[in-house]
Structure 1
Amino acid sequence: MYKKLLLFVVPIFLGIDFPNIKPPTDEILWDKWGIPHIYASTDDNLYYMMGWAQMHNHGNLILKLYGEGRAKSSEYWSEDIGRDKLLHQLGVLNASQKAYALLPQKEKQVLISFAKGINTYAEQNPNELEEKYKVVLPVKPEDILQHTFRVFYLEFLINRNISKANKWTAGSNGWAIRGSKTTSGNSMLMANPHLNWDDFWLFFEAHLITETNDLYGTTLVGLPTIGIGFNKNLGWTHTVNTLDNVDLYELTLQNGQYQLDNEFHDFTIDSVQIIEKTGSEKKATTVLRKQSAFGMVYKEEGNKAIAIKWPNTDGKLNIIGQWLAMGESQSLEQFQEALAMNGLPLFNVIYSDKENNILYHFGGNAPKKNGDWGKWQNIVASTSSDDLWQGYYSSEEVPTYLNPESGWIQNANDPPYTSTFPAAIRPDDYPSHMAPNAMGFRPQRSALLIKDAMNLNLDQLIALKHDTKSEYFLRIKEDLRNINSMELDSLTKEALEILLSWNGAFEANSTGPVLFGMLAKELGSKGVFAEEWDLNDPLNTPRKLKDLSHVTSSLQIAAEKHQQIYGSLAVSYGDVYRLEVGNHSFAANGGAGSLGIFRTMNYSPKGNGQFFATHGETYVCATEFGKEVTAKALMSYGNATQAHSPHVGDQLELFSKKQLRKVLLQREDQLQNLEKREQLSQMQ
């Protein structure tokens, strides 16, 4: 994922002497890809310029997101009154305000400086911003934390449990490799998060240099601290983990109270008024916040109510502080101390360092509760205090392991027990509600790609990362040969021949992927295989098609649909699936993770049988921790969203070619690839 020089986290690390790092005067060197290399003499200046830089590339988006985080979308823009209400009703906004009040001064100052940089940019560059978003100005430090809570708690956690999000898809791949598997003997890291290609899901890439540290990485737009990154000594990436820390309860009501054990209790109730705007008309709407021991009330009907329990409603957990500490870490021990803060609400952590350590950690606020995994996947009808959370598991109690004998760690959103083989931990070692026990085709593909790879250099690691073959197809290809082609009509027979001659790769010039995608849809997701997945044979199961007659009829339907839409079965994948950002358009490669494709891409229809990429591969960074850290990276959609920026989609061609950029860690390289230079004095 990255190499030795920077770190994907937040800006600065104090108290560490790096005499070779002597940043010049405070300034930003903008390279030709729109990536800011920020040189700062103080933390305040660093975060101030980080705020300025994000506004330069994403000004309109940032103001929009902060307005939404305030729960004022309806008041400002006549939009999303439902989300405004939910942010109040479920206590997300209130929790962020509590969290800001509890922030240590160090983290609070980060937000203050970041907000100041945002506001100064807006004052000096009013013509770069849309008028409708200026209503959000001035940005307050609290806005940044409100946005953070909206993204992490409402979007990442709550919405995927109440099905409010639009096809929310968890994603990401990550690899950590020990020196025993590399030609140089150096450890390596591959970061590969998957999120939507728009809005609050977007990443921002930056390089942060002070007298005490040199960091490189990415963060979600609107956040000051880098969340995936590396420095001269270590680095990490995140994947969304199989963590269940949002639960829905069905409560029993009587006379406005809810039952807990053998008594009825009052809700804690308060209210807030929000402005609902329709056209030019405004009206005040009252939103009730009703809190029970089981969580915040989401809806009521008759003598029942649904309550939602989610972590950190008291604001005591510190997301900003943990990422700061992770970034400031210069050793494994310091990094583990940062993990022990348990401030992040979710995410696996995959780690590698210069001392040839690799680490897996099942991060997040994992609640202690009774019952197995299955119990908590549905609404729990309860009146018993036995079903209340009993705090969170500590970082030492969740699945974690260091330097497995395999020499590698992978995670592709699978549970912790399948992240290396031979397995370093087992499900029986942990409470049954901690995580499920399963492994889909994408994590299997991930493990199969890396487990037997030896003598890797960085470019070879990157080549493995760009694999587009479908593990699902490879698993059933031989079974397809058992279909009796003599019983098929000519179109279905042609379809079978196309699939049997295909190597399973979702490349732009391949003619099998579109047809196979249709076949997989017709087959359905359940009951396809005679042998289901088995932890004792995790990389070879499920296997053996259960019902060839069902497969044959599904293939016939898929072939007919394909022919009807495209007029031929011999259609190139890249003619149907496209990469489109700004004015850039290229043939796509990669496909759905559900098909077992490591290079994960999801698409939305654009009409005429075509699709365009909307989710999947976002930021990719491959790093080698040698004497000098080296790294290559790519931001699929570019590092900017401002309409007239040349960096909207400017990396998309490299993406289509499965190429990464050299990460410009050295000042000389930055100057040779310089687009613009800004002194701090010009930003004040």
Structure 2
Amino acid sequence: MKDSLFLVILIFLLSCSGKKPGYENEILWDTWGIPHIYADTDSSLYKMMGWAQMRNHGNLLLKLYGEARAKSAEYWETDPEKDILLHQTGVLDAADKVYTRMADTDKRVLASFVAGINAYAARYPEQLDARYRKVLPVRPLDVVYHTFRVMYLEFLIARNLRPAREWSAGSNAWAINGSKTASGNAMLLANPHLPWNDFWLFFEAQLIKEGNSLYGTTLVGLPTLGIAFNENLGWTHTVNTLDNVDYFEISIKGDSYLLDGNYQPMDIDSATVWTGSERLLVQKKRTAFGTIIEERGDKALAISWPNKDGVLDPISQWRAMGEADNLEEFQAALDRNALPLFNVLYSDREDNILYQFGGHVPKKNGDWGKWQELQTTSSSKELWDGLYPAAALPRYTNPSSGWIQNANDPPYTSTFPAAIRPSDYASHIAPNSMGFRPQRSAKLIMEASNLSLDEFIALKHDTKSELALRLMDDFEQLKTATRDSLTLAALQVLTDWDGSFDAGSTGAVLFHRLIGKLGVSGYFAEPWSPEKPLKSPDGLKDRRIVLEAISQVARDLVRQLGRLDPAFGDYFRLKAGAQEFPGNGGPNRLGLFRTVEYAAGEDGRYYSNAGETYVCAIEFGSTVTAKAILGYGNATQPNNPHVGDQLALMASKQLREVWYTREAQESNLERIEKEIEM
């Protein structure tokens, strides 16, 4: 009787507390250095998220927040250019406005996140470099500054500035429904491509609270997961082909600018940037055409970018996306349209798949081509007329094909038969084209059927160059156009090769050098056509030019390496931290779905520095199953064992199991941290 009474009392107490038996606010760190964070409130959840990011990326996180304050020159005596731009373009002003307007619930999330950051720094100051500790304490506003610095200055503004125009954003994504899978379950592939350093780095984590277990990744320094899945649904992003940064050359006279025939006063204020030796006064001059970033005589260059008024909050949208339980709730989160850019691809356990061309897309006067140029004007007709709502942008669900892909191509080539058409939208929203990597992506997924999750993953690891495959018949024909023995030998290497960029591939180095000389376009006789999206461009316009390039590259290769057919992995290497392996995968421009960018080293080899970062493949069945990898590891902090610890898996084209359940986490446990101890 007493035992029965005790059991009733225990059940009553547990129900009153709202906790399950054994439930605590804690972090279960697995053996890959991934935190699985259990919490009973959002405050505890995000406090532990801040703590976890500090454990794995403390120095980097503090550096990023110092830079986002526009104080990198003051703290570390660096070039003040980025500090000046953050003020001059109005990025920090917009962040201030967003934070002021944030809902109290979102402010509490930020406050909790920075409380965890500061608590870790107070507990383990010796783990942090002294030069970065000067950023402490971190404030909630710093998180918003960092978000806006990355999203607006780096993703949008910087890639449009002349010095950064060679920067190439990339990502792959697939969403397929049960018509393409063996199980009848929908699947999703998340595969972003970004540089392997600094503010581009991802942090992988799981956020678990009552009713929601969200697993995925975010950029270091952000509190919310940006690419993620829960038991019911998941989404990923790719950088999309939107144009929401424009430059205007305008006429000025003193502190006035010409608008519709009359000079109007600029809105002017200033900020101060400190360097190690002087104070710089940064003037912020605003016009209807945007903020002035350069003046020459009676002309000025003004830059226009979205959300300068600070109305749209990307942090709260990502949180709403992660808390959605079904397609309707997820679409409601997307309708906020608070993310400044990104395509969204989505799958769920109800067998729905979705594509959304997201972002702050301005309404403009004119077509896509016009707005790729500098606008020399004083007319108000060229001003943006607000932003399109999400519902007016390219979007669809459940195409008849059963699949959606995106590899940074425009929305109109995301499935075949096409679910949407360019004529359905204003021409300045997006161009209509399809590069070689998107073509490879579409061919791989459209031709597949009856896929298991492992087969889906194997398909993702395809290393063939679509550009090389397109040129193979031309290489064969070129053999009849030359008698030069070395050129013929080079052509034989190319035609014996299968187009793959694997470690042992013997034609990949030669082809890589050839395209480095020729470029990826300009020599095709037939241009890309929307009528033949997966078979164009094609044919050679001038065989002589290509033969000369092959001849020169062959001679250079023999002189430098002693042979025409070196193994790709001998000279192209995967490297992260102290880990190094023969490379596989290759540059985006060559049309590889497995994208890895390499930079030349001083030893004549090439080393990975961008491309494949986070890869996650998810199947939404009665229970969710996933495999993933973060190639460079989930940490950057010195002496952390997880710097580069996943690179061996990446080199062997493997993903690791995602330990989504408590049972799996406890079976692969490295440490437990309790919130009460933090």
The interval holding the TM-score normalised by the smaller chain is over 0.9
Q: What secondary structure, in the 3-state scheme, does the structure 2 residue paired with 1:269 have?
A: strand
Structure 1 residue aligned with 2:429: 434
Structure 1 residue aligned with 2:48: 49
Worse-superposed segment, 152-161 or 514-523: 514-523
Q: What secondary structure, in the 3-state scheme, does the structure 2 residue paired with 1:271 have?
A: strand
Task: Measure, in 1, the Cα distance between the counterparts of 2:404 and 2:437.
Answer: 15
Q: Select 1:306's aligned residue among 266, 280, 301.
A: 301
Task: Measure, in 1, the Cα distance between the counterparts of 2:216 and 2:482.
Answer: 56
Quote how far apart the aligned CAs of 1:257 are.
Answer: 1.2
Deviations 1:37-90 (A, max 9, x none): 001011100000000000000000000000000000000000130110110011
Deviations 1:596-622 (A, max 9, x none): 100001011102321100000000000
Q: Report the residue type matching 2:455 in the other structure.
A: Q
Structure 2 residue aligned with 1:144: 143
* Maintained 8 Å contact 1:66/1:147: yes
Quote how far apart the aligned CAs of 1:94 are.
Answer: 1.2
Task: Measure, in 2, the Cα distance between the counterparts of 1:247 and 1:153.
Answer: 13
Deviations 1:598-652 (A, max 9, x none): 0001011102321100000000000000000000000010000001000000000
Structure 1 residue aligned with 2:5: none
* Maintained 8 Å contact 2:159/2:165: no
Structure 2 residue aligned with 1:14: none
Quote how far apart the aligned CAs of 1:106 are.
Answer: 1.0
Worse-superposed segment, 411-420 or 608-617: 608-617
Deviations 1:141-199 (A, max 9, x none): 00000000000000000011113438421100000001011000000000000000000
Deviations 1:354-375 (A, max 9, x none): 1100000000000001000011
Q: Select 2:291's aligned residue among 296, 300, 310.
A: 296
Structure 2 residue aligned with 1:533: 528
Cα gap change, 1:21 to 1:657, in 2 (>3 Å): farther
Task: Measure, in 1, the Cα distance between the counterparts of 2:671 and 2:162.
Answer: 44
* Maintained 8 Å contact 2:479/2:491: no
Task: Measure, in 2, the Cα distance between the counterparts of 1:154 and 1:255.
Answer: 28
Cα gap change, 1:67 to 1:255, in 2 (>3 Å): closer
Quote how far apart the aligned CAs of 1:283 are.
Answer: 1.4
Structure 2 residue aligned with 1:169: 168
Quote how far apart the aligned CAs of 1:448 are.
Answer: 0.2
Q: When the two structures are superposed, what TM-score results if normalisation uses the length of structure 1?
A: 0.95
Structure 1 residue aligned with 2:3: none
* 1:466-485 equivalence runs, <5 A: 466-484=461-479
Task: Measure, in 2, the Cα distance between the counterparts of 1:556 and 1:341.
Answer: 56
Structure 1 residue aligned with 2:631: 636
Structure 2 residue aligned with 1:608: 603
Quote how far apart the aligned CAs of 1:494 are.
Answer: 1.5
Quote how far apart the aligned CAs of 1:682 are.
Answer: 1.3
Q: What secondary structure, in the 3-state scheme, does the structure 1 residue paired with 2:477 have?
A: coil
2:342 is the alignment partner of 1:343: no
Task: Measure, in 2, the Cα distance between the counterparts of 1:116 and 1:595.
Answer: 46
Aligned length: 661
Quote how far apart the aligned CAs of 1:593 are.
Answer: 1.2
Q: Select 1:500's aligned residue among 495, 502, 507.
A: 495
* Maintained 8 Å contact 1:21/1:212: no
Structure 2 residue aligned with 1:236: 235
Structure 1 residue aligned with 2:4: none
Structure 2 residue aligned with 1:378: 373
2:192 is the alignment partner of 1:197: no
Structure 2 residue aligned with 1:80: 79
Deviations 1:535-566 (A, max 9, x none): 01100111112211111111001111212221
Q: Select 1:329's aligned residue among 324, 328, 341.
A: 324
Q: Report the residue type matching 1:448 in the other structure.
A: K
Cα gap change, 1:636 to 1:22, in 2 (>3 Å): farther
**Root mean square deviation, CA, Å:** 1.2
2:506 is the alignment partner of 1:511: yes
Quote how far apart the aligned CAs of 1:109 are.
Answer: 0.7
2:661 is the alignment partner of 1:666: yes
Q: Select 1:454's aligned residue among 449, 453, 463.
A: 449
Q: Using CA pairs below 8 Å that are at least 6 residues apart, which structure has the higher relative contact order?
A: 1
* 1:337-416 equivalence runs, <5 A: 337-416=332-411
Q: Report the residue type matching 1:46 in the other structure.
A: L
Runs of 4+ in 1 over 6 A off after TM superposition: 19-23
Structure 2 residue aligned with 1:186: 185
Worse-superposed segment, 540-549 or 419-428: 540-549
Task: Measure, in 2, the Cα distance between the counterparts of 1:23 and 1:447.
Answer: 47
Task: Measure, in 2, the Cα distance between the counterparts of 1:492 and 1:132.
Answer: 56
2:550 is the alignment partner of 1:551: no
Quote how far apart the aligned CAs of 1:212 are.
Answer: 2.0
Quote how far apart the aligned CAs of 1:22 are.
Answer: 7.1
Q: What secondary structure, in the 3-state scheme, does the structure 1 residue paired with 2:170 have?
A: coil
Q: What secondary structure, in the 3-state scheme, does the structure 1 residue paired with 2:627 have?
A: strand
Q: What secondary structure, in the 3-state scheme, does the structure 2 residue paired with 1:136 have?
A: coil
Quote how far apart the aligned CAs of 1:93 are.
Answer: 1.0
Task: Measure, in 1, the Cα distance between the counterparts of 2:677 and 2:117.
Answer: 14
Task: Measure, in 1, the Cα distance between the counterparts of 2:539 and 2:32.
Answer: 48
* Maintained 8 Å contact 1:21/1:210: no
Structure 2 residue aligned with 1:585: 580
Q: Select 1:464's aligned residue among 459, 471, 487.
A: 459
* 1:38-117 equivalence runs, <5 A: 38-117=37-116
Task: Measure, in 1, the Cα distance between the counterparts of 2:266 and 2:29.
Answer: 54
* Maintained 8 Å contact 2:80/2:273: no
Deviations 1:213-271 (A, max 9, x none): 11100000000000000011110000000010000000011243111112110110001
* Maintained 8 Å contact 1:252/1:258: yes
Q: Select 2:485's aligned residue among 485, 490, 512.
A: 490
Q: What secondary structure, in the 3-state scheme, does the structure 2 residue paired with 1:594 have?
A: helix
Task: Measure, in 2, the Cα distance between the counterparts of 1:484 and 1:200.
Answer: 48
Deviations 1:454-494 (A, max 9, x none): 10010000001000000001011011111135733222221
Deviations 1:81-112 (A, max 9, x none): 01101100111111111111111111111110
Q: What secondary structure, in the 3-state scheme, does the structure 1 residue paired with 2:478 have?
A: coil
* Maintained 8 Å contact 2:191/2:613: yes
Structure 2 residue aligned with 1:274: 273
**Structure 1: segments with no counterpart, 5+ residues:** 1-18
Deviations 1:364-401 (A, max 9, x none): 00000100001111110111111111111111100001
Q: Report the residue type matching 2:93 in the other structure.
A: N
Task: Measure, in 1, the Cα distance between the counterparts of 2:539 and 2:347.
Answer: 38
Worse-superposed segment, 260-269 or 478-487: 478-487
2:675 is the alignment partner of 1:680: yes
Task: Measure, in 2, the Cα distance between the counterparts of 1:217 and 1:656.
Answer: 22
Q: Report the residue type matching 1:339 in the other structure.
A: L
Cα gap change, 1:236 to 1:135, in 2 (>3 Å): same
